[in-house]
Amino acid sequence: MNNEVLKNILRYFLLAAAQVMVLNHINLVGFLNPYVYVLFILLLPFETPAWLLLLAGFGMGFTIDAFTNSWGLHTAAATFMAFSRPGVLGLITSKKEYEPGIRPGIRDLGLNWFLSYGFFMIFLHHFALFLLEAFRFSEFFPTLLRVVLNTILTLVICVLVQYLFTRSKK
């Protein structure tokens, strides 16, 4: 258990650093930018208490905000994402039950499961993020286009990161 907590704290720092220093500087086609820090919330263990989940999302968003001067923006989106996680998990049924010891991620639950889980979660996050950023409904459809394209980009990178940095099960 302790080991698991440490791992998540380490993941928090690594993802925040990678987001602020590298990923915020990627501009595909001018306006696409992966927000891979959400992977931290995606990979939190199933046993995480609800209040801790919310606080983790809040803390992660706040950290990103502090470095980009977008106060409250990522905080609101990440908290919303953490809030909707139990709901999304309930929606997506897996062949395997969520037993203790099983962690969300490609390694334990497979690529298909992660793609649907990740897409829903990242879409909700990006939807909140870009809508709050634009803050007007007159730009709704351009914003929606951004949300969808960006969701796909973030999801692809989240999948690649997992293949690169997790040891495969023996």
Partner 1 sequence: MRYFFAFLLRYNYYFLFIILEVIAVILMVRNYQYQSSVVFNATSEFTGGINNRFNDVAQYFGLRQTNMALAAENAKLRGMLKESMRSQDTTHFSSVDTLLKQQYNYTPAKVIHNSVNSRNNYLMLDKGTVDGIRSDMAVIAPDGIVGIVSKVSPHFSWVISVLHKQTKISCKVKKNGFVGTLVWDGMNYHTATLKDIPANVLIAKGDTVISSGYSSIFPQGIKIGTIKEFKVDKGYNFYDITITLSQDMNKLAWVYVVTDYFKEEKSTLEKFTVDE
Footprint of partner 1 (CB under 8 A): 20-21, 24-27, 30-33, 50-51, 54-55, 57-58, 61, 65-73, 75-76, 79-80, 83, 130, 132-135, 139, 142
**Nearest distance from C-beta of residue 82 to partner 1, angstroms:** 8
**Nearest distance from C-beta of residue 85 to partner 1, angstroms:** 11
The residue among 56 and 109 lying less far from partner 1, judged by its C-beta, is 56
Q: By three-state DSSP, how is residue 135 classified?
A: coil
**Nearest distance from C-beta of residue 48 to partner 1, angstroms:** 12
| Cα 3 to the center of its chain, rounded Å | 22
**The two structure tokens encoding residue 76:** 């609101």
CA distances to 64, 87, 96, 99, 125 from 70, rounded to whole Å, are 8, 28, 40, 38, 15
The residue among 20 and 161 lying less far from partner 1, judged by its C-beta, is 20
CB 45 within 8 A of CB 99: no
User: In this structure, what is the dihedral angle of CA atoms 67, 55, 158, 72, given to the nearest 10 degrees?
Assistant: -40
The residue among 16 and 42 lying less far from partner 1, judged by its C-beta, is 16
The residue among 45 and 146 lying less far from partner 1, judged by its C-beta, is 146
